A and B are shown apart, each in its own frame.
Chain A
Amino acid sequence: MTDTPMREPTFLVLTALAAGPQHGYAVIEDVARMTDGRVRLRAGTLYAALDRLRTDGLIEVDREEVVQSRLRRYYRLTGVGETRLAAESSRLRQQATLAEGRLRARHDLGGAPA
């Protein structure tokens, strides 16, 4: 596991699973809902992220179900995944705070474009 910044799909998948165990298609729907339809994960991208997150121990299989003869595997966040998501959220918050602070200062100094 590395502490390099997460790619957006990875961050969004972990955020979706932070709400509780979900299967693949539910994660796609949840991510689309969370981002107001801006991000619609495709199956290839989703399973690349899920495979990597499982290998790194950030998520694990919660349970499996067969619905209409199709396999549904539910994934859940692990303790390591929770810590990593919290760290990434904190990093993003710090960056956002920094950017907002500088933008405020720019406006206060009258540096904003007319």
Chain B
Amino acid sequence: MTAPLEIQYRRLLAVYPSAHRRAYEEEMVGVLMEGAEPGQRRPALGEAADLLRAGILARLGRGAQALRTSAWRDAAAVAGLIGAVLLTAIACRRLIFGLLYARESGDPMRAFGVDGGLLIDVAARSVAWLAVVVAVLLAARRTATALAVVAVLVEITAVAVWLPSQEFRAIRMSWALALALLTVALLVLSRHGRPAVAILGRRGGAVLTGGLVLAAVSALLLPLWPTPPQILGLVTVPDALLLAAGAMLLAGLQRIPAGIRRRILVLLAPLLAVPVAQRQLEQAIDITFARSVTPGIVVVDVLMMAGVPLLAFALAAAALHLREGITVTVTRTPEQAA
């Protein structure tokens, strides 16, 4: 019969990753039991704390180690490119809308003698992220990472310049900063791996770029075309372009090896969770009626913008773990093969 102390030690050892347990559990139980006092029924507090600390560190270490494998680095390179493209598209869209408004209604800053003054921050963000995209496509990984850090600083400045007149600007733009930081993290992770263009391949890259261009065209058409014509009475032209863009993006990703493709989706999960987090945040703090930014609102902001993407990543990573953990191995003996 297993001693109660041994059961307790095994429960504590469950905190270690499975690979570590396979390698050391029996041996560690032996050492722990050998060091136990006669008649001891529970692990000493210090021993238990040490096991928990070492087990959690081993788990974190293995997680970080796993993220440094080539498949994850490759996936990070593509996800980083997608993140930078998203940030470019968002900033460019704002810039185009701003320019169109200024053309139709006149620039409100003209009265102060500063043409386009309201669009300087959006223009700076557009240029900064476009530079990152170009550097990634040119396979200049270090430059891309450095430019992405600069782009984050531009994002912070773009929020800061509006703060004196718009107290809630930082809260409303939390998603932009979260997206930017995630993109930097992806580019940092990918800097020792293959460049995104090498992973996508020439055809995959062309299909993916085509999809992105189509998506951009459909986004640009929307403000210019208030009542767009329909195709066969089913979908509007911009929607059809958007669907075609989506299909091309999926086709581009489909050309990537399955292992890397799945990891790209896992890494995209936190990026896609950012807008969800922003919506949840604004609902949680009731931003329409909130009077001022309190320390509580700042705490909720940080927790949600970090927590929701992290949760999305954890869920996607768990799904990947389950998907890849279930493997069927068929072995045949020479007699069976004959």
Contact = CB atoms under 8 A, between A and B. Distances in A.
Nearest to B12: A44
A70 B174 CA distance: 55
B20 A45 contact: no
A48 interface: yes
Given A42-B46, A43-B51, A44-B51, A24 B58 contact: no
A109 interface: no
A51 interface: yes
B39 interface: no
A51 B33 CA distance: 20
B24 A47 contact: yes
A46 interface: yes
B279 interface: no
Interface in B184-225: none
B28 A47 contact: yes
Interface string A18-34: 00000011001000000
Interface residues of A, number: 16
B20 A43 contact: no
Given A44-B55, A51-B23, A51-B58, A70 B30 contact: yes
Contacts of A84: none
A53 B270 CA distance: 35
Interface residues of B, number: 23
B139 to A, nearest CB: 29
Contact of B27 (A28, A42, A44, A73): A73
Interface string B11-29: 0000000001001101111
A45 B26 contact: no
Interface string B134-178: 000000000000000000000000000000000000000000000
A44 B26 contact: no
B110 interface: no
B115 interface: no
Contacts of A114: none
A1 interface: no
Given A51-B20, A51-B24, A46 B58 contact: no
Contacts of A25: 30-31, 34-35
Interface string B49-62: 01111110110000
B33 A44 contact: no
Contacts of B29: 70
B26 A71 contact: yes
Contacts of B57: 48
A24 B53 contact: no
B319 interface: no
Nearest to A73: B27
A50 B335 CA distance: 43
A49 to B, nearest CB: 10
A43 B31 contact: yes
A46 B51 contact: no
Nearest to A52: B61
B35 A43 contact: yes
Interface of A: 24-25, 28, 42-48, 50-51, 70-73
The 3 closest A-B pairs by CB, nearest first: A44-B54, A70-B30, A44-B50
Interface of B: 20, 23-24, 26-35, 46-47, 50-55, 57-58
21 contacts: A24-B27, A25-B31, A28-B35, A42-B50, A42-B51, A43-B51, A44-B47, A44-B52, A44-B53, A44-B54, A46-B31, A47-B24, A47-B27, A47-B28, A47-B54, A48-B58, A51-B23, A51-B58, A70-B30, A71-B27, A72-B27
Given A24-B31, A51-B20, A70-B26, 8 more contacts: A25-B35, A42-B46, A42-B51, A44-B52, A47-B24, A47-B54, A70-B33, A71-B27
